Amino acid sequence: YGKKKGKVRLITSSQDLHSFQEGDILVAKATCVDYVVIMKKAGAIVTEYGGITSHAAIVSRELGIPSIIGVRGVTSVLKEGEIVEVDANKGIIRRIS
């Protein structure tokens, strides 16, 4: 739970991990073990697939990072670099700019 603002970083593969910065919003279809290094830096995590027992959900709970899991089409709707606010308490992603 929680609320965070940050820059969207679309991660489509392990090749994209190098550009991730502290506080960025991790947006991906799903996460895997390779992503844990950037998940620790993420302001929030948003994925297209998964549920309460998915990798992203479990890791975000362990790390205390706000997350919204299972947002259909989110990797197509959100754009790389835009600023959003992720409100995990309400399950809302709001564009800031």
In the block, which residue shows the tokens 């995990």? 88
> Where in the sequence numbering do the catalytic residues fall?
55
Name the phi and psi angles at 94, rounded to 5.
Answer: -120, 130
Measure the CA–CA gap between 2 and 10, rounded to whole angstroms: 21
